[in-house]
Each structure stands twice: as C-alpha cells, then as structure tokens.
Amino acid sequence: MNTLRQRMWEDMRIRNLSLTTQKKYLRQVASFANYFNKSPRLLGIEDIRVFLLYLAQERKLSASSINVTVSALRFLYKVTLGCQWDIEKIYFARREKKLPVVLSPDEVAQFLKAVENKKHKAILMTTYAAGLRILETTKLRLSDIDSRRMTIRIQQGKGKKDRYVMLSEKLLIILRDYWKEYQPSSWLFYGKTKDDPISTATPRQVCRLASYESGLKKRVTPHILRHSFATHLLEQGTNLRTIQILLGHSSPSSTAVYTHIAVQNLKATTSPLDTLPDM
C-alpha cells in the first residue's frame, strides 16, 4: 500500500467510515489515478472534471455510481491532501428520480414458494419480513434474535447505526425450523464454515434463479424485497415515521418515496372525472 493510499485509509478509519465505504473510496481513487497514470497529488480540479465526464459519457455510469467517485475524490483532496481550493467545485451528478420496483403480497408469496432450499428461503424471508438490507441479513447473529421481545437487533447497519425491527411470528417458526436442520452457532446464516457469515452474493444469485423459476415477469433482488416490505407497511396504514425507523433511514425524504408507490393510497383517491355529471 503506497503512502497516499495508506494515509487516506487511516483518515477514513479515524472518521469511522464503514469498511464498505473505505473499500469503495480507495477503489475509485485508484481508478482515477490509473486513468491518468499519475499520482492524485499531481492532478487537480480540471483533471477530475475530465475523469467524471469519461465516467458519464464513455462508461455511461449511473448518477449514483458517479457520485461515489465524487465523494471519494472530495474526501481525498479535502481531508487527506488538505487542498485549499474550493472542493464544492467537484459537483455531484443529478440523480435520476426513478421509483423502485415492488412486488405485490401475492407476488412475494409466489417468489418465496420458488425457493426450495430451507436456508436460502430463511434468508430471503428474513429480508422481506424485517425490511433489511441484504448485508444486514447476512451479518445477523443468533444473539440478535430475541423471541421474548419479538425483535431483531440490527448491529451497525448503514451509517454505523444499531436499530431494532419486529420479529414476525411466521418468521420465528421458519427460523426455528431452519435452526434445527443447520445448527448455526454464532452467525445466523453462516457461509462455508460456521465461523463466517454467508456472502451477499449467494442470496442475490438465489433471487435471480427464483425469479425465473417463479414465473414472475418482474426482476427480483433482495433490495426489491426491502422496497416491497416498506410499501406493504404503508398500504396497511403504518405511518412514515415508523417505516423510517424500521428501515434505518436517516432522512424522511428517503422514506417518502414509498408514498408514490403505495397503490392502496391511489385506489382510495377519487378521480375528478368520477365526480362529473353524466355526459
């Protein structure tokens, strides 16, 4: 690890950035340096502009992907290198406002029915039943499941925050059945050995196969199950603040997107056309 990379890594650790964020930032800075075949110390704002243009026009990356690079370069030049130039001139890309795809309750049931492996089904049912990010599901420990209080503890989720979510009675039955067969000791869903959590790649691959086997026309991912969880709660009358807490969102605006998806709310609204006299 070269000196600059080492210093940036140390700066990120001092600021307690998540390991995932650290890896992403280092990867983006390395890509930036490799593009020019120069150390970032020798590059400036105009070079950053050229690189971001390359990501947008030639590599055709999404705004979200480009913004990871922007965040990484802002951190590098502002924190690690301590540059005095206006860091705000490294602009974030405007994100596309796309609504997430969600499944109906019937489609969730149809999808889960296509997952035959008991362990894989338990992972995906947990993701949907508690609205978890897939990384949160795979990092669950046995001790996080509290059947007395009917809660699941999420340790150090996104933003390094702990939270509690509800433990579904149906899910508890599934987890107990899973435990009897697999006998996990520390990690609830272990990988190749009981000492390591299962990789997030496994449930993603299971989703791809189950999407095909289920006959659904929608593409299903673990995150779509999370979106479906939030949407179904909203349609059942759960208030947005509660959904925000359950999802672990820092900003209410992140949760408010589900108001645009919940079809039950739309169905309850009368079109002005229906109020017109007969024509």
pLDDT of 1 over the 60 cut: no
Q: How confident is the model at residue 263 (pLDDT cuts 50, 70, 90)?
A: low
Q: Residue 69's CB: how many other CB atoms inside 10 A? A: 23
What per-residue confidence (pLDDT) applies to 174?
94
Note whether 113 and 76 are same-domain residues: no
Burial category of 173 from C-beta neighbours within 10 Å (exposed 0-12, middle 13-18, buried 19 and up): exposed
For residue 261, being part of any structural domain is answered with yes
What per-residue confidence (pLDDT) applies to 213?
92
Note whether 230 and 199 are same-domain residues: yes
Catalytic amino acids?
Answer: 133, 158, 223, 226, 249, 258
Note whether 17 and 83 are same-domain residues: yes
Q: Which amino acid is at 140?
A: L
pLDDT of 214 over the 80 cut: yes
What per-residue confidence (pLDDT) applies to 127?
95
Which CATH number is 61's domain given?
A: 1.10.150.130
What per-residue confidence (pLDDT) applies to 161?
82
**Which residue's structure tokens are 């005095």?**
84
Q: Residue 109's CB: how many other CB atoms inside 10 A? A: 11
For residue 95, being part of any structural domain is answered with no
For residue 98, being part of any structural domain is answered with no
What per-residue confidence (pLDDT) applies to 210?
94
Note whether 236 and 110 are same-domain residues: yes
Note whether 210 and 74 are same-domain residues: no
Among 89, 120, 143, the domain boundary falls at 89
Q: How confident is the model at residue 274 (pLDDT cuts 50, 70, 90)?
A: low
Each residue's pLDDT tens digit, 120-173: 999 999 999 999 999 999 999 999 999 999 999 999 877 778 899 999 999 999
**pTM of the predicted model as reported, rounded to 2 decimal places:** 0.71
Cα separation values, 150 from 69, 130, 160, 167, Å: 40, 12, 23, 5
What per-residue confidence (pLDDT) applies to 2?
79
Query: Taking residues 205-212, what's their average pLDDT?
Result: 94
Cα separation values, 16 from 19, 140, 159, 203, Å: 9, 21, 10, 28
Q: What is the mean pLDDT of the chain?
A: 89
The C-alpha atoms of residue 258 and residue 48 are separated, in whole angstroms, by 35
For the chain, what is the domain count? 2
Note whether 135 and 237 are same-domain residues: yes
Candidate from 76-80, 90-94, 156-160, 266-270 with smallest mean pLDDT: 266-270
Q: Which amino acid is at 212?
A: Y
What per-residue confidence (pLDDT) applies to 250?
80
Note whether 41 and 76 are same-domain residues: yes
Domain residues for the domain of 76 are 3-89
Among 29, 64, 89, the domain boundary falls at 89
